[in-house]
Chains A and B, each alone.
Chain A
């Protein structure tokens, strides 16, 4: 069992397009930063020093804030806090959306209609304003409430997609066969349906983490989360409130924002890779082909090999132009190549 998991993971890795691998690598870097960052940070993030609003230096790699706090340490702590929160929300929401999506698809009938209606309503109501209202009313605005609130509003996206996929799978013959042999419903769901949706669930998880990061950073920026904790959004909040912009203290908000952007980018890259695994048409290699050094567009007439090999590709003709043969050609044929 263990070896097949390894083999499965290895084959998935091999088939991932390059940009997804870059995404995984980049995300891995941040996970590393989250794990060891706060242990190696040079200062306590909240420690104030008299060196206020200082530009980056050897002493303070990312400069200091208005109260002399070290930005680098804040960012390292922030990465850990933000990632912790986002991954936790990701797990909770993915479990929720799989539950709701599969249930709706499997039960069908009135249950499906009700669950679908609820899902669609929460999809169309804009999430952030509702999050703001919810958080605003909570007297406790710590990490836990943020996680709870984000989870309550995060499941509709995944649920909708998973429901659609489950409906398709459910209609397939092998499911009917399982039912005929009397396999229990929960076993069918767990061992036959879900394994076929793994890439979808993975994509949904990544999307949820993206959403959680974006939403928590936005909430923090508006001041709705615990402003004394050092999440990436809180750093941005303080930079805005304490006038980093006006004094041109770009080092205060750029590292934190950049961290958010890069984590997000790595996840988007990863997701597009998962997308391409599921929908092979999206792969760039399908849209064009490189044959005999030529790039063939999908919408061009079908190429003929003999012609491609006769006329060198752009790189080929560029290199060829340096060869003695081509110089001779040019001079003799009057430049007619």
Chain B
């Protein structure tokens, strides 16, 4: 498994006169080639900020205050050192954007230019990155619509003339225009009804199998990720709470927040359970109090939680390779990752 995108210790803050808002705090996330990683959290948890910040698409007063983002796509590195996105100039970023990492935005109605036809918006993406003569570029744009199952006569349509599902599919087609290695999907199906959601999701899976790109799937819907993602990272108040494979998270959630999320949606099969939501509201991101931000809403919290350092530790009983990490030392026994790293470097395996 070769990591294609490595986010290490990334922190993003919004600077204002009233103090910094710490939207993302020391988050590390790795995306391997061809893998689907789900990034889960409620609104305001920093999941979108993390993704856009890693791509350096955030506007002032956003500021990246720590960490690194490295990209390993063969086209860019040709087998050498990974490219450091955070130190790239605007021009260098142009080469990466869309060609290597593409984004499917949340609301297609807002993310599509209202005054351009679908064809022109697709051509924009194609021509910006692929040096194709006009006719071939047009054919490429048309074939992109074929990819997502939209009839070609919709090429000359404007965004407002398409249905919600079709618009989202156009967004996906546009993201695939330059054959990227990584596709970041920011709540692509949240605004759609359930039936269309299904359609789009199966389309995404099929395209991923066919074209082989990695997916970072951002959503607040954990149930979706359990089916779709290989690995899941759970975020809260700008920090990672738990990461692991979707099976591990479903079977043995090692964080109270994850447990709360799992308990808040019913499963179609199995016994009837009492649905428990998570009471309370997310914290104000301006204060960086020590300890776990989830304390006010956590049913397992003890005094020691106020002093815990929020680093991720490996859940005891799992292998280093499984990568099941959690920030909560209370709910499940954990092994410090620092020790695990020492072991791993001795064995020559990534923790």
Chain A residues positioned under 8 Å from B87 (CB to CB):
304, 307
Chain B residues positioned under 8 Å from A285 (CB to CB):
61
Chain A residues positioned under 8 Å from B12 (CB to CB):
302
A276-335: which have CB < 8 Å to B?
A: 285-289, 291, 296-307
B60→A288 contact, CB < 8 A: yes
A32 vs chain B, min Cβ distance (A) = 32
Determine the distance from Cα of A306 to Cα of B66 in the docked complex, in whole angstroms: 7
Tell yes or no: B62 within 8 A of A by CB.
Answer: yes
Chain A residues positioned under 8 Å from B63 (CB to CB):
289, 291, 302-305
B51-71: which have CB < 8 Å to A?
A: 52-53, 56-66
A302→B93 contact, CB < 8 A: no
Chain B residues positioned under 8 Å from A297 (CB to CB):
60
Closest A residue to B16 using CB positions: A285
User: Which of A291, A301, A306, A307 sits near B15, CB closer than 8 Å?
Assistant: A291
A286→B65 contact, CB < 8 A: no
Q: Which of A301, A306, A307 has the most CB of B within 10 A?
A: A301
Chain B residues positioned under 8 Å from A296 (CB to CB):
60
> What size tier do the contact residues of chain A reach?
10 to 19
A304→B90 contact, CB < 8 A: no
A302→B62 contact, CB < 8 A: yes
Flag A192-216 by CB within 8 Å of B: 1 or 0 each.
0000000000000000000000000
Chain A residues positioned under 8 Å from B58 (CB to CB):
302
B64→A289 contact, CB < 8 A: no
A287→B60 contact, CB < 8 A: yes
Interface of A is mostly: mixed
Determine the distance from Cα of A306 to Cα of B68 in the docked complex, in whole angstroms: 11
User: Which of B57, B61, B64 sits near A304, CB closer than 8 Å?
Assistant: B64
Determine the distance from Cα of A298 to Cα of B66 in the docked complex, in whole angstroms: 20
Chain A residues positioned under 8 Å from B15 (CB to CB):
289, 291
Tell yes or no: B250 within 8 A of A by CB.
Answer: no
Closest A residue to B88 using CB positions: A301
Flag B217-233 by CB within 8 Å of A: 1 or 0 each.
00000000000000000
Closest A residue to B54 using CB positions: A302
Determine the distance from Cα of A302 to Cα of B62 in the docked complex, in whole angstroms: 7
Tell yes or no: B86 within 8 A of A by CB.
Answer: yes
A63 vs chain B, min Cβ distance (A) = 48
User: Which of B52, B53, B57, B61 sits near A289, CB closer than 8 Å?
Assistant: B61
Flag B30-73 by CB within 8 Å of A: 1 or 0 each.
00000000000000000000001100111111111110000000
Chain B residues positioned under 8 Å from A301 (CB to CB):
56-57, 88, 90, 93
B152 vs chain A, min Cβ distance (A) = 34
B108-122: which have CB < 8 Å to A?
A: none
Determine the distance from Cα of A289 to Cα of B59 in the docked complex, in whole angstroms: 9
A298→B59 contact, CB < 8 A: yes
Closest B residue to A299 using CB positions: B59
A160 vs chain B, min Cβ distance (A) = 24
Closest A residue to B53 using CB positions: A302
A233-289: which have CB < 8 Å to B?
A: 285-289
12 A-B contacts, Cβ less than 8 Å apart? A285-B61, A289-B15, A301-B57, A301-B88, A302-B12, A302-B52, A302-B56, A303-B60, A303-B64, A304-B86, A305-B63, A305-B66
Other than A289-B15, A289-B60, A305-B65, give 15 A-B pairs with Cβ distance below 8 A.
A286-B61, A287-B60, A289-B63, A291-B15, A296-B60, A297-B60, A298-B60, A301-B93, A302-B12, A302-B64, A303-B60, A303-B63, A303-B64, A306-B66, A307-B86
Considering the complex of A and B, which 6 residue pairs feature the smallest CB-CB distances, nearest first? A289-B60, A301-B56, A302-B56, A302-B58, A289-B61, A304-B64
